[in-house]
Structure 1
Amino acid sequence: MGGGPGGLSVAYALRAQGLRAVVLEKSDRVGASWRRHYDRLHLHTTRRLSGLPGLPMPRRFGRWVARDDVVRYLEKYAEHHDLEIVTGVEVSRVEPAPDGTGWLLRATGGRELTGAAVVVATGHNHTPRIPDWPGRDTYTGEFLHAGTYRNPAPYAGRDVLVIGVGNTGAEIAVDLAEGGASRVRLAVRTVPHIVRRSTAGWAAQFTSVLVRRLPVRLVDRLARPMAKLSVPDLSAQGLPRPDTGLYSRVREGAIPVLDVGLIDAVRKGQVEIVAAVDGFEDEKVVLADGTRVSPDVVVAATGYVRGLEGLVGHLDVLDAGGRPVVHGAHTTKQAQGLYFQGYVNPISGNLREMAIDAQKIAKAIAGDRDGNRRVSRLPVT
């Protein structure tokens, strides 16, 4: 389920194993979520380490691939591998098949579909998350989630507050500052680790791949001197160095901010760091330090929820935060044959890890000797 890179890569890997794979996509074309990202977006991972199995990304895309080129690549990927994709189908619930031979999928229009195995790949950024701030419902100012932000043109000459200093919030703040906003403030609750996307031609992703399997405390110790050498002290501007280790934070789910202009924008005063948002009062935003500000626009870069509860929550495969308890080639004992792809946020890059997991999932399904699940094989040509 899902016509993004996670679903498409698994579909190809299954075909390569000689198995039939059908991709169900709720929109009318593949890569729907990528098409909705803001215009400025480029991958923070290198082109060479972002391709999916069976088709590298073209060299003409450059080292840091733009959003539109990612969409073109996904379209070409589906065409090149002649993947079987059914669009306009949204699955609302996955249940064990009554005869015990696989899975029953309840979809739009009252349709019921069956599969020997199911791979859920509906995306990490599924449903915008907006915190339940006091006073938010009565706030009279302009408010939007980062998921609907496209470019800075509508905000030229306006005072904008961006909430959240993840990669999306940081990049939108820089985009607004460079795009003519009269004032840009970035509300920060937890100070992030900031890493140069590339230093002297060496991509941060390369280091991430090398250290991913090392002990957390060792990586934390190695990262501290590297950060001091490559990233200036921004304490005077409101971004002190974090107290906790970089990799410790990664294991908690907080990926470092890959710098694509934030450091310079903060140093030059183009992006002002302010305290976290605690609530709203009429036309004002209340910050954690007691300050009240009145921006023209508020952009909430507060992340997403996976939206899996209605789909598979009844199968006891999600943790308290709605995240799958297994991923990749692993399944739970109570839901064997149900796989999850793309719901982790590894330091080494989402697309790289999805490409690896796709092949592991396909091999697990192909090697399943459970006679109760009859996997359809493609005819030999």
Structure 2
Amino acid sequence: MTTPLRSGSMGIDRTDDKDDDSGRAGRRNQKGRGGRAHPDDRPVYVIGAGPAGLSVAAALRERGVRAVVLERSGAVGASWRGHYDRLRLHTTRRLSALPGLPMPQSFGRWVRRDDVVRYLEKYAEVHELEVVTGVEVTRIEPAPTDERRPGRPGWLLHATGGRRLTGRAVVVATGYNHTPRLPDWPGLDTYAGEVVHAGAYRDPGPYAGKDVLVVGVGNTGAEIAVDLAEGKKAGKRGAAGEGAAARVRIAVRTPPHIVRRSTLGWPAQRTAVLVRRLPVRVVDGLAAALARVAVPDLTAHGLPRPRAGLYTRARQGAIPVQDVGFVRAVRRGAVEPVTAVDSFDGDEVVLADGTRIRPDAVIAATGYTRGLEAFLGHLDVLDEQGRPVSRGRRSPKRAPGLYFTGFTNPISGMLREMALDAPKIARALARD
């Protein structure tokens, strides 16, 4: 399954003057399926060919607005291709599809990583999207005033190869998990052992028979820990199989909320959709009551129930852990919770309680940053944590025509949020 990648029609592959020719090129393809042409023939540039960028491009095309997707890697869905082999969506197939194309029933309820990639490839193909790979945007700034378009200055994009691209608007969809974040632990630069970010983890093979410390107990850290404990060929009911690590510990700074992915066939995501608009304290109370019934207390295993409520934590950015074998692994001792990493010292890892351990490898599931400062920091459209100040259908007041999507991680599901954002952004752009 191959995604059609288009470049010649854009005028961005020129090597003579490196200037954009998107105005002339846009007139050759400015009608969407509805046959409506927009008076401003410059394209909308969408940065990032993941689910957020592809869904916005498809929604714009449906409204007759030409969208060109710029992707720095060599294919759509690059971040999904780099995830670990075990990964399945924690959101259901039905609630994870993008506008205009359901996910095939054959994918099952919990879609595998490889099937997500296949779906994104098919999505770009079905919607006939203009996707140009190998182009990284390095800076965005207001376009110079054009007398032919009074009141519509647009945006100038600086990209690899000296390219200068002018668009009537820009949608930034580079992803919530963009740049791996590794804490600046004392002694890390002189640590004698192996340390890798979770973004580089693929399968338990390289760690067979080793002592491994996973740092971070979000969904990624919990699932990697289980993967290491079970090995390539898991035994009955998650027992260690071929290629399992000899010992797996997981460093925990703040105990997470843990929820069952589904209970009696009812997925946790549907509950999250139903309660998302309720007051925080109400959702916190409901979640606490459900956890007492559905999730065993792991306090005796070093993982007490969190003090702050589930929705309170989620609003702060700490999404609950979906249980895909983690609870069972902790209860049987296959995954051992320990306190947070404090520092590194020679070949030892020093934990917050003073314990010193010597794992063969450390896998840091310590999250990502948005990575927007490098090309957007000068526009004053980011908050102190590097997140867009406005998202979805609203542009920042200081930057009309600049949109952001895919930068939230709600309890109701990131893919669902992207699917909801896409038509809203398309409507806003069409009105402009």
Q: Same fold per TM (> 0.5)?
A: yes
The reply to whether residue 47 of structure 1 matches residue 104 of structure 2 is: no
Partner of 2:236: none
Partner-residue secondary structure (3-state), 2:203: coil
Separation in 1 of the partners of 2:349 and 2:264? 41
Partner-residue secondary structure (3-state), 1:195: strand
The reply to whether residue 282 of structure 1 matches residue 334 of structure 2 is: no
Q: How far 1:98 sits from its partner (Å)? A: 1.2
Partner of 1:120: 172
The reply to whether residue 167 of structure 1 matches residue 213 of structure 2 is: no
Among 188, 191, 194, the alignment partner of 1:139 is: 191
Q: How far 1:223 sits from its partner (Å)? A: 1.1
Partner of 1:73: 119
Among 310, 313, 321, the alignment partner of 1:249 is: 313
TM-score (norm 2): 0.85
Letter in 1 for 2:133: T
Partner of 1:229: 293
Separation in 1 of the partners of 2:255 and 2:98? 33
Letter in 1 for 2:286: L
Partner of 2:132: 86
Separation in 2 of the partners of 1:40 and 1:126? 20
Partner-residue secondary structure (3-state), 1:137: helix
Letter in 1 for 2:76: V
Separation in 2 of the partners of 1:181 and 1:136? 23
Partner of 2:411: 347
Identity of aligned residues (%): 73
Partner-residue secondary structure (3-state), 2:94: helix
Partner of 1:13: 59
Q: 1:148-167 to 2 correspondence within 5 Å?
A: 148-167=200-219
- The CA RMSD over aligned residues, in Å, is 0.6
Q: 1:310-321 to 2 correspondence within 5 Å?
A: 310-321=374-385
Letter in 2 for 1:81: H
Letter in 1 for 2:419: A
Separation in 2 of the partners of 1:152 and 1:48? 30
Separation in 2 of the partners of 1:233 and 1:252? 23
Separation in 1 of the partners of 2:322 and 2:390? 27
Separation in 2 of the partners of 1:313 and 1:78? 30
Partner-residue secondary structure (3-state), 1:320: coil
Letter in 1 for 2:65: L
Q: How far 1:62 sits from its partner (Å)? A: 0.2
Q: How far 1:208 sits from its partner (Å)? A: 0.3
Separation in 2 of the partners of 1:315 and 1:220? 37
Among 340, 350, 357, the alignment partner of 1:293 is: 357
User: What are the superposed Cα offsets for residues 294-344 of structure 1, whole Å, 9 maximum, x if unpaired?
Assistant: 000000000001110011111111010101111100111110010001011
Q: How far 1:125 sits from its partner (Å)? A: 1.1
The reply to whether residue 189 of structure 1 matches residue 253 of structure 2 is: yes
TM-score (norm 1): 0.96
Partner of 1:373: none
Partner of 2:239: none
Partner-residue secondary structure (3-state), 2:419: helix
Letter in 1 for 2:216: G
Partner of 2:110: 64
- Residue-pair matches, total: 368
User: What are the superposed Cα offsets for residues 145-180 of structure 1, whole Å, 9 maximum, x if unpaired?
Assistant: 000000001111000000000000000000000011
Q: How far 1:213 sits from its partner (Å)? A: 0.5
The reply to whether residue 273 of structure 1 matches residue 337 of structure 2 is: yes
Q: How far 1:260 sits from its partner (Å)? A: 0.3
Among 354, 359, 362, the alignment partner of 2:426 is: 362
Letter in 2 for 1:83: L
User: What are the superposed Cα offsets for residues 174-225 of structure 1, whole Å, 9 maximum, x if unpaired?
Assistant: 0000011000000000000000001110000000000000110111111111
Partner-residue secondary structure (3-state), 1:22: strand
Separation in 2 of the partners of 1:303 and 1:114? 33
Separation in 1 of the partners of 2:175 and 2:54? 12
Q: Which runs of 5+ in 1 are unaligned?
A: 369-381
Separation in 2 of the partners of 1:242 and 1:263? 15
Separation in 2 of the partners of 1:222 and 1:125? 29
Partner-residue secondary structure (3-state), 1:351: helix
Q: How far 1:272 sits from its partner (Å)? A: 0.2
Separation in 1 of the partners of 2:71 and 2:287? 40
Q: How far 1:108 sits from its partner (Å)? A: 0.3
Partner of 1:333: 397
Among 137, 142, 149, the alignment partner of 1:96 is: 142
Q: 1:297-308 to 2 correspondence within 5 Å?
A: 297-308=361-372
Separation in 2 of the partners of 1:16 and 1:215? 36
Separation in 2 of the partners of 1:182 and 1:38? 20
Q: How far 1:89 sits from its partner (Å)? A: 0.4
Partner-residue secondary structure (3-state), 1:125: coil
Q: Runs of 4 or more off by more than 4 Å in structure 1?
A: none
